[in-house]
Amino acid sequence: MTTDSLDTLDTPAALIDRSRMLRNIARMQQRMDALGVRFRPHVKTAKCIEVARAQREAGARGITVSTLKEAEQFFATGFTDILYAVGIAPSKLPRALALRRAGCDLKLLVDHPDAARAIAAFGQAQGERFEVWIEVDTDGHRSGIRPEDDALLEIAHLLHDNGMQIGGVMTHAGSSYELNAFDALVALAEQERAGCVRAAQRLRDANLPCAGVSIGSTPTALCAQHLEGVTEVRAGVYVFFDLVMRNVGVCETSEIALSVLTTVIGHQSEKGWAIVDAGWMAMSRDRGTAKQAHDYGYGQVCALDGTPLDGYVMIGANQEHGIVAPARPVGEGDSASGEPGVATDNIATRLPIGTKLRIVPNHACATGAQFPEYHALSDDGAISVWSRFHGW
């Protein structure tokens, strides 16, 4: 806890609306419970112990991480069931071994025969039976082996026949971020589910073990109609949500739990600009809404109490300067046509020097990463400082 209030907090600061966060956590967990699957949140979004504890208290089982540093930090505070959901570089195996030797139930990921060989060789040399999951590509957006690819069985045999434990198959339909229609999201969720279940079936048909079937992204997790054959779901950004997710269609702006507190430090009145002390160092350089139906620039401007100032976005950002203004009336990826008209001639009187604003970000994972800590705001105005990991 700090004695600060929103009025006195130094800016820029990363604010978490605690009630919104808890509602987002409950919504996802209830959905996973209803679909009959375990939920393993991806803690890369917040990299914050307090956030992960709230997810666990709501019913999450295990966590997903994107770096070994996350695994180490979360393990040190009592999280043991950890899936490292990035294909492991062979040079990182000693660090993974140290975690397992310390008692961490760390699961590795692989999508390449050479990496499987390296894991098996290192595991045999060290006498460690690594638990390894195989990454499946169900939408072509990044990594993984396609369910029908011969390499799937090759990798599984390289692991199994050399004494490693196959934990299961996992996939991430990250292309869901590019969609914005419910029917398309439902279809992609089914493609993600069916592809991963198919990969598991191929392993089982070859008498290889495959207990786990892990899928997930925030949009597909929230749109899947059934999850037959799936054992667990992973999602990360749902805990805060953000403007990209709002444009995808899986949350409202009023559900976004992360914002950046900032102070007006100047104006260019004839341009309708207010200059604020949150630039890209605070917001991140993420322009994820640039190619979506509604371009929010570097973020939606809100009053100190979180109420959106309709039509005002951060139109530009330098390192420690943000330019707040009415959305450009015309522009690539911009759909400001839906916004009410905004007067531009009164910026200095509407937002005088010293005004505190909140900027809702495009991408919560990227914006959060710019800060060493969050300031978590309760409904009663109390503020807690929650630290966040940085680096690898």
Would you tell me which residues interact with its own copies (CB under 8 A)? Answer: 8, 10-13, 44, 66-67, 86-92, 95, 111-112, 114-115, 118, 137, 142-143, 174, 263-268, 275, 277, 280-282, 284-287, 316, 318-321, 323, 352-354, 363, 365-366, 369-373, 390-392
Smallest distance, its own copies to C-beta of residue 57, A: 25
- Whether 33 and 225 have beta carbons less than 8 Å apart is answered as no
Smallest distance, its own copies to C-beta of residue 372, A: 4
Nearest to 135 by CA among 162, 160, 112, 118: 112
Residue nearer to its own copies on the CB measure, 58 or 68? 68
Question: Tokens standing for 202?
Answer: 């191929």
Phi, psi torsion values for 126, nearest 5 degrees: -95, -5
Residue nearer to its own copies on the CB measure, 37 or 313? 313
CA atoms within 13 A on the CB side of 376: 19
> DSSP code of 252?
-
Smallest distance, its own copies to C-beta of residue 300, A: 18
Tell me if residue 147 falls in helix, strand or coil. coil
Smallest distance, its own copies to C-beta of residue 375, A: 12
Residues 298, 166: Cα–Cα separation, whole Å? 43
Residue nearer to its own copies on the CB measure, 44 or 202? 44
Q: How many residues does the chain have?
A: 392
Residue nearer to its own copies on the CB measure, 37 or 241? 241
In this structure, the number of other CB atoms found within 10 A of the CB of residue 332 comes to 8
Residue nearer to its own copies on the CB measure, 338 or 354? 354
Smallest distance, its own copies to C-beta of residue 391, A: 4
Smallest distance, its own copies to C-beta of residue 67, A: 6
Phi, psi torsion values for 195, nearest 5 degrees: -65, -40
Residue nearer to its own copies on the CB measure, 256 or 282? 282
Residue nearer to its own copies on the CB measure, 37 or 326? 326
Phi, psi torsion values for 241, nearest 5 degrees: 60, 175
Smallest distance, its own copies to C-beta of residue 95, A: 8
Residue nearer to its own copies on the CB measure, 78 or 140? 140
Residue nearer to its own copies on the CB measure, 124 or 268? 268
Smallest distance, its own copies to C-beta of residue 183, A: 25
> DSSP code of 297?
B
CA angle 180, 243, 171 (to 5 degrees): 60
Smallest distance, its own copies to C-beta of residue 340, A: 27
Residues 153, 132: Cα–Cα separation, whole Å? 14
Query: Which residue bears the tokens 């207010």?
Result: 274
> DSSP code of 89?
P
**Does residue 12 have a cis peptide bond before it, meaning omega lies within 30 degrees of 0?**
yes
In this structure, the number of other CB atoms found within 10 A of the CB of residue 54 comes to 21
Smallest distance, its own copies to C-beta of residue 119, A: 11
Alpha carbon 85 to chain centroid distance? 13
Within the chain, strands assigned E span 13-17, 38-39, 63-65, 81-84, 105-110, 131-136, 165-171, 212-215, 232-233, 258-268, 273-276, 300-303, 308-317, 322-326, 356-360, 373-377, 383-387
Residue nearer to its own copies on the CB measure, 209 or 266? 266
Helix H or strand E encompassing 261: strand 258-268
Residues in CB range of 248: below 8 A, 6 or more apart: 176, 177, 179, 180, 185, 219, 292
Residues 244, 222: Cα–Cα separation, whole Å? 15
Smallest distance, its own copies to C-beta of residue 117, A: 9
Residue nearer to its own copies on the CB measure, 118 or 342? 118
